[in-house]
Amino acid sequence: MRVRTSGRRGYWLYLIPSLLLFLAVIVVPFLMNVGASFTRWSGVGTPRWIGLDNYTRLLADERFWQSFQHNVGLIVAMAVVPTAIGLVLAAALFDYIGKRFGTRTASALRAMYYLPQVLPVAVAGVVWGWMLHPSYGAVNQIFGLDLDWLGDPDLALATVMGIMVWFQLGYPVVIFMAGLQRVDPSYYEAAEIDGASWWRKFWHITIPQIRPEIFVVLLTCTIAALKVFGPIFVLTRGGPGNATMVPSYFSYLNFFQKSNVGYGSAIATVLALIIIVVTFLFLRVQERES
């Protein structure tokens, strides 16, 4: 073959604009943040160098490390469950509803599943507060329950998880449905001739074909779950007690409530490093799989 495989190097050119942008907007600020993490600083004025003090303090902060266990639940609620349900929904909309009831029906349903992603988080928090109100909330009334969804420490995390599924679901559905467009229809046609069931096609064609999207959704949602803050803050503020506390709260607290930018930077750095390690391991697996 006479293909110009000569220079993979040439492809580097395409990365240059982004690398410059990332240097300025991400890498330099990240290094500045790491620098600030060795100081005592309120955000304004001259930072005072204190070496590793912030890090030793953070290592000893039990509440910070304990809050990571809530992330496990949130990864389930924000990454695993939406990916699993999203796959089934996307496949059902794409090659079941789309084929039997028309693509318009499928598109309309997709739009509705996606809507929660559009609602501003602050407003979503207020509305869920109304619906889950223990005395006159819609959820208790509809189901005839008497549960204190967000106020009971044994229930609050599960409630938050449920709301996060609601919030996240539309994202994988849209991505997976777009991914399914890429799949060569002849695979499905062949399977149909063989008389394969819907579930068989789902398992043997759909999933392998949109594997890249599945990886992307899983990783990005896991990252989002590890650093989630906004939704938790508007729903429970980490409470009751510390029942729904998450690690990002500590960086928020120090940056904006305590104006302890040095310590906040240390927390952000540690959090970022943990997420980067997870990302790296994940990408390694993804690389091998493909």
Partner 1 sequence: MVKLRGAAVLAAAALALSACGSGGGSDTPSPSGTQPRVLKLWHYESADSAMGKAWAEAIKKFEASHPNVTVKFEEKGFEQIQKTASMVLNSDEAPDIMEYNKGNATSGLLSKQGLLTDLSEEVTKRGWDKLLPGGLQTTARYDDRGVMGTGKWFGVPNYGEFVMVYYNKELFDKHKVAVPTTYEEFTAALDTFVKAGVTPISNAGAEYPAQQIFYQLALTKAQKPWLEAFQSYKGKVDFHGPEFTYGADTFADWVKKGYIAKNSAGLKAEDMGVAFMNGKFPIVISGSWWYGRFASEIKDFEWGHFLFPGATMSPGSSGNLWVVPEKSENKDLAYDFIDITMTKDIQNLLGNSGGVPVAADPAAITDAKSKELIETFNKLTTSDGLAFYPDWPAPGYYDVMVAGVQELINGSKTSAQVLDELAKPYEDNLADIGN
Partner 2 sequence: MRGPGRWAVLFALVVLAVVMIFPFLIVGMNAIKSPAEYSSQGPLSLPDGLYLQGIVDFWNRVEFGTKLWNSFVISASVAVLAVVLSVLNAYALGIGRVKGRLWILVLFLVANTLPQEALAYPLYYLAKAVGLYDTQLAVIIVMTAIQAAFGTYLLSAVLGQFPKEILEAAAIDGAGRLRSLWRIVVPISRPTINVLLIFFFIWTWNEFFLPLIFLISNDTQTVPVALGVLQGEKYMDATMSSASALLGVVPAIAFFLIFQRTLTRGVTVGAIK
Q: Which listed option, partner 1, partner 2, none, makes contact with residue 238 (CB within 5 to 8 Å by class)?
A: partner 1
Among 20, 59, 126, 283, binds partner 1 (CB under 8 A): 126
- By CB under 8 A, the residues from 214 to 233 that bind partner 2 are 215-216, 219-220, 223, 227, 229-230
Q: Closer CB to partner 2, residue 153 or residue 257?
A: 257
Among 74, 91, 150, 221, binds partner 1 (CB under 8 A): 150
> How many chain residues touch partner 1 (CB under 8 A)?
34
- By CB under 8 A, the residues from 198 to 237 that bind partner 1 are 236-237
- Which residues, at least 6 apart from 261, have a Cβ–Cβ distance to it below 8 Å? 36, 41, 42, 43, 254, 255
> How many chain residues touch partner 2 (CB under 8 A)?
108
Strand partners, 49: 39
Q: Which one, of 70, 79, 76, 31, lies nearest residue 249 by Cα? A: 70
Q: Closer CB to partner 1, residue 66 or residue 259?
A: 259
d(CA 165, CA 167): 5
86 touches partner 2 by CB under 8 A: no
138 touches partner 1 by CB under 8 A: no
Burial annotation 89-126 (CB, 10 A radius, 16+ → b, else e): bbbbbbbebbeeeeeeebeebbeebeebeeeeeeebbe
Please check whether residue 121 is in contact with residue 204, taking contact to mean a CB–CB distance below 8 angstroms: no
Please check whether residue 240 is in contact with residue 156, taking contact to mean a CB–CB distance below 8 angstroms: yes
Q: Which listed option, partner 2, partner 1, none, makes contact with residue 88 (CB within 5 to 8 Å by class)?
A: none
Please check whether residue 235 is in contact with residue 245, taking contact to mean a CB–CB distance below 8 angstroms: no
Max distance between CA atoms of the chain, in angstroms, equals 75
CB of 75 to partner 1, least distance (A): 23
d(CA 239, CA 152): 9
Among 74, 87, 90, 124, binds partner 2 (CB under 8 A): 124
Distance of CA 15 to the CA centre of its chain: 26
Look at the block and give the residue holding tokens 């695993």.
Answer: 80
Q: Closer CB to partner 1, residue 133 or residue 211?
A: 133
Q: Closer CB to partner 2, residue 124 or residue 160?
A: 124
Q: Is 39 helix (H, G, I), strand (E, B) or coil?
A: strand
24 touches partner 2 by CB under 8 A: yes
103 touches partner 2 by CB under 8 A: yes
- By CB under 8 A, the residues from 129 to 188 that bind partner 2 are 130-131, 136-138, 166, 169-171, 174-175, 177-179, 181-182, 184-186
Q: Is 94 helix (H, G, I), strand (E, B) or coil?
A: helix
- Spell out, one character per residue from 37 to 66, where the chain touches partner 2: x when CB under 8 A holds, - when not: ------x-----------------------
- By CB under 8 A, the residues from 58 to 77 that bind partner 1 are none
List interacting residues with partner 1 (CB under 8 A).
32, 36, 42-45, 47, 126, 129, 132-135, 148-153, 156, 236-242, 253-254, 256-260
